[in-house]
Structure 1
Amino acid sequence: MMGNGTRIAIVGGRGKTGRAVATALEAAGAETVPVGRAEFEDLAAALRGGDAVYLIAPNLHPDEPAFVTTVLEAMREAGVGRIGYHSVCAPYVPSMPHHLAKAASEDLVRRSGLDWTILQPCAYVDNFLPGLRAAAPRLEVPYDADRPFGLVGLEDLGAVAARVLLDPSHIGATYEVGGRSLVTVRDVAVAAQRVLGVEVELVVTSPDEWAAGPGATLDPRERDWLHAMFSYYEGHGLPCGSATVPAIVGRPAHDLDTLLRHALV
């Protein structure tokens, strides 16, 4: 596996996902370069001289395929031939527009002529941390708290991303990245209660209640897309396979207690 001397640009590198990927890459000896909105004024210049790009589009981007096309074109201009694309678990879900945008973007990456690897992570355990860090810990979700999810920790996702970017044997592969096992939001609340040693309030509403309440302040497109996502979660959760982390990193994904203990204690 490569490492020392490898330079990898992370598009979206200043967000929580990008920082997790950078931490894992740097631990393996690679140099990372965060690329954000400011660098898009001359994206090819920002990418030039690098060995690879890890591409994370902004959350709920209104036109992710166009965003991905811009990055792919800049990579060709800069002479960077290796890309890791950050997609999503279950990209082809017709009821979720932002998932469909990632499915279309995966197709662009596969037909780009570049050496590619695609990661399809589930939602993050880390997304629940703000509520759990409150003085009165609380989890609030606008969907069924007992549906199954393959929730993964950012630490594990970063470790997978670093491995696939630094090892050419992963070129041409698509990996679904879930946590150690399927869990529910209620499981997260129970684990957090064990770790914190205090009661964790679990508040469950419906997608429609969310849209009429907190969601009403959002941009209408973002509100509609999130409402569609919460409605899908209400009916189906988001199961995701658990085999990728141990197969690529060489250890099991962290369990809920371990992830929450690292973040909260």
Structure 2
Amino acid sequence: MAQNGTVAVLGASGRTGRRVVDALARRGTPVRAVTRSSPAPPGAREGHTADLADEGSLVRALEGAAAVYVIPPVYRPDEDVLIAAAARAAARARVGRVVLHSVLHPYTATMPHHVLKAVGEDAVRRCGVPWTIVQPAMYVQTVSEIVVGTGDDVGLPWDPDAPMSAVHLGDVAEAAANILTGPGHEWATYELAGPERLGLAAMVQQVADVTGRPLRPHRLPPGGWSLFDPGSTEAETLVAMCREYTDHGLPGNPNVLSWLLGRPATRFADAVRADLARLQVAGEGCR
């Protein structure tokens, strides 16, 4: 348990890591931000550099930590190897607990990046350190920040009516902080899903309603969503994900998340409003 010790966050400079660091810091937990090269985010008491591909650097970065939250890089073809290295490093550093940030429904054979997380989960369970695994759904922020972006013409990369249970990243970070600092979470696997089943078109419309932006959604052809170089493994993984979303969506159940939070999970529109308020407080304006 980590009630009275330092929590290390691997991947602390990313979108998820920054939120987890912030959630831990707000409750007074000492946080060690472990990044590959970026400065430690605000709220971290310590900053260490380490590479998931260099197990020795991970061991040095984790020594003395009571718990570690492992956020692996997404869409990497070696993600399972990197998760296993983090788990071994935690055992070698004698960390008290490992919490892995996985994904909702990791055992989905048609999505390679989900399967890699499933293999990584197995490595965590076998590492000899008390563990917890969290399996978040697609983030609300994936829609509001990545799919929608900054333009008003919004390409929809999968079936706009396929059911999704998008989860607020703020809820995920709060649940992670509760798990890392509270008792009774060892040997548990938790699905973290939002409280609604919405299609992508409905989510985009809610972004438009909350922000007042005149969004114009249109369906993209298969492979038309370009986040990576065409023909790369990452691009092919993204195509496979969009195909699976079109065929089956990614629905989940919010009960576990609500239990971990001690309150109802945040609805989609409220999550968008919370992010707008967060940007305004930070002086960044809103898109």
CA distance in 2, matches of 1:219, 1:75: 35
1:11 aligns to what?
Answer: 10
CA distance in 2, matches of 1:62, 1:230: 17
What do residues 57-91 of structure 1 show as CA deviations (whole Å, max 9, x unaligned)? 11112112211121122112211120100110010
Deviation of residue 241 (structure 1)?
Answer: 1.4
CA distance in 2, matches of 1:31, 1:118: 21
- Among 47, 60, 69, the residue aligned to 2:84: 69
CA distance in 2, matches of 1:14, 1:219: 28
SS at match of 2:190: strand
Higher relative contact order structure (alpha carbons within 8 Å, sequence separation ≥ 6): 1
2:34 aligns to what?
Answer: 35
Q: What amino acid does structure 2 have at the position aligned with 1:39?
A: A
Does residue 163 (structure 1) correspond to residue 178 (structure 2)? The answer is yes
1:93 aligns to what?
Answer: 108
| Contact 1:189 1:201 survives alignment (8 Å) | no
TM-score w.r.t. length of structure 2: 0.85
CA distance in 2, matches of 1:183, 1:95: 22
Uncovered stretches (5+) of structure 1, i.e. residues with no partner = none
- Among 239, 246, 255, the residue aligned to 1:243: 255
Deviation of residue 215 (structure 1)?
Answer: 6.2
**Richer in helix (by share):** 1
SS at match of 2:252: coil
Deviation of residue 2 (structure 1)?
Answer: 6.0
What do residues 217-243 of structure 1 show as CA deviations (whole Å, max 9, x unaligned)? 345211111111111011111111111
SS at match of 2:105: coil
2:71 aligns to what?
Answer: 56
Aligned-residue CA RMSD (Å)? 1.9
| Contact 2:196 2:268 survives alignment (8 Å) | no
Instruction: Give the aligned length.
Output: 260
| Contact 1:128 1:139 survives alignment (8 Å) | no
Q: What amino acid does structure 2 have at the position aligned with 1:150?
A: S
Change (3 A) 1:82 1:215: closer
Deviation of residue 26 (structure 1)?
Answer: 1.2
- How many percent identity over aligned positions? 35
2:21 aligns to what?
Answer: 22
CA distance in 1, matches of 2:30, 2:231: 37
CA distance in 1, matches of 2:10, 2:213: 39
Q: What amino acid does structure 2 have at the position aligned with 1:252?
A: P
Change (3 A) 1:175 1:138: farther
2:138 aligns to what?
Answer: 123
| Contact 1:9 1:52 survives alignment (8 Å) | yes
Q: What amino acid does structure 2 have at the position aligned with 1:257?
A: A
Uncovered stretches (5+) of structure 2, i.e. residues with no partner = 37-48, 278-287
CA distance in 2, matches of 1:242, 1:15: 25
- Regions of 4+ moved over 6 Å: none
- Among 218, 230, 236, the residue aligned to 2:242: 230
Deviation of residue 55 (structure 1)?
Answer: 0.5
What do residues 9-57 of structure 1 show as CA deviations (whole Å, max 9, x unaligned)? 1111110011111111112221112212241352211111111000011
| Contact 2:100 2:132 survives alignment (8 Å) | yes
CA distance in 2, matches of 1:247, 1:27: 20
SS at match of 1:169: coil
Q: What amino acid does structure 2 have at the position aligned with 1:140?
A: G
